[in-house]
Amino acid sequence: MVMSTNRIGNAFNAVILTLLAASTVLPVAYLIYVSLIPPEAYYSYGVVFPPRALSLVNYQLLLGRGSRLVSSFLFTVYVTVVGTVLSTFFSALLAYPLSKSEVPFRIPMTGFVFFTMLFGGGLVPNYLLVRALGLLDTVWALVLPGLISAWNMFIIRNFFQALPDSLEESARLEGAGDLRILLSIVIPLSKAVILTIGLFYAVSYWNKWFDVLIYMRSPNKRTLQLVLRDILYSATGFSDPSAADTTTTTIQPPGEVIKMTAIVISTLPIMLVYPFVQRHFIRGVMIGSIKG
């Protein structure tokens, strides 16, 4: 009787998890499928299954020579890499002393960092500060104002607190300093939480568009998300001068296909990176949230 009940429960869980997985995978599959439909087939048959024809012509049109998507994609990758590396490093650099009870003024400094989670200066003071520092129209305007996330820093700090003190004591006996201990012992042992927080920062920098709209002036310093926003407005019938480039020799894809193709282009890099850090993701968050 107990075994039968367990089987029913397992079958029920399997059905629920399968439905949840399908609800996540099917929309992504639909996006990719529509983006692969050539304009001629879409105008003739619409979205049908099985497909009448599939090609990469929509991607070629958006990523063709002279397309703003190429330059915006490269700029977004640059911002994401620079921002993720610096934010993750300095978050760990701040989290390490705050994880040590013997550090003077640790509690007031922790409270100061926590205060920034509750209150912010606002858009206008941030803009005035960025302008006063001469950061307008530079990549640092997108990185420095939000270099350290208090939430991410606290996750790293909690992870550092869970590490055994004996490791650091042994290193100090060998003559290692604080920075050497952090770089050679603490961070290598904290690979799970470092990769997890790095993913958080990467997604945040990859999705930036409002900060770019405010701080950037040069046409070649526009992130992929902002260009995608322009394309989506243009594809849905809004008049926008920054619409995607078109050609006279190729049938222009309909608005829905343009939107699907642009969304796939913008999300594909993160989708490709996530599987490599997924095995560290849950472990890093759970261990980093146990001890406070």
**pTM for the full predicted model:** 0.76
Report the pLDDT value the prediction gives residue 62, as an integer from 0 to 100.
75
pLDDT, mean of residues 163-185? 83
3-state secondary structure of 165: helix
- CA distance linking residue 23 with residue 10, whole number of Å: 20
- CA distance linking residue 97 with residue 290, whole number of Å: 19
pLDDT, mean of residues 149-158? 91
pLDDT, mean of residues 265-278? 77
- CA distance linking residue 32 with residue 96, whole number of Å: 43
**pLDDT by residue (tens digit) across 189-234?**
888 888 889 988 998 999 888 899 899 988 888 888 888 777 767 6
Is 29 inside a domain boundary?
A: no
Residue 252 has pLDDT above 70, yes or no: no
Is 23 inside a domain boundary?
A: no
Report the pLDDT value the prediction gives residue 284, as an integer from 0 to 100.
52
- CA distance linking residue 61 with residue 235, whole number of Å: 14
Residue 228 belongs to domain spanning: 58-288
Residue 115 DSSP class: H
Number of domains in the chain: 1
Residue 267 has pLDDT above 70, yes or no: yes
- CA distance linking residue 177 with residue 185, whole number of Å: 11
Is 9 inside a domain boundary?
A: no
Domain with 235 in it: what CATH number?
1.10.3720.10
Closest Cα partner for 178 from 84, 103, 107, 88? 103
Closest Cα partner for 149 from 215, 204, 76? 204
Residue 256 has pLDDT above 80, yes or no: no
Radius of gyration of the chain (CA): 24
Query: In the structure, what pLDDT confidence band is assigned to residue 3 with cuts at 50, 70 and 90?
Result: low
Percent of the chain clearing pLDDT 70 (strictly above)? 85
Is 42 inside a domain boundary?
A: no
- CA distance linking residue 136 with residue 163, whole number of Å: 41
- The sign one gets for the Cα dihedral 82, 113, 155, 102 is positive
Pick the range with the lowest mean pLDDT from 114-118, 168-172, 180-184, 234-238: 234-238
Residue 126 has pLDDT above 80, yes or no: yes
Query: What are the CA-CA distances from residue 141 to residues 18, 73, 126, 224, 274 (Å)?
Result: 43, 18, 10, 17, 26
pLDDT, mean of residues 149-169? 87
Q: Give the Cβ contact number of residue 44 at 10 Å.
A: 11
pLDDT, mean of residues 71-84? 91
Is 12 inside a domain boundary?
A: no
Is 220 inside a domain boundary?
A: yes
pLDDT, mean of residues 169-175? 82
Residue 255 corresponds to which tokens in the numbers above?
């608005």
Is 48 inside a domain boundary?
A: no
Is 216 inside a domain boundary?
A: yes
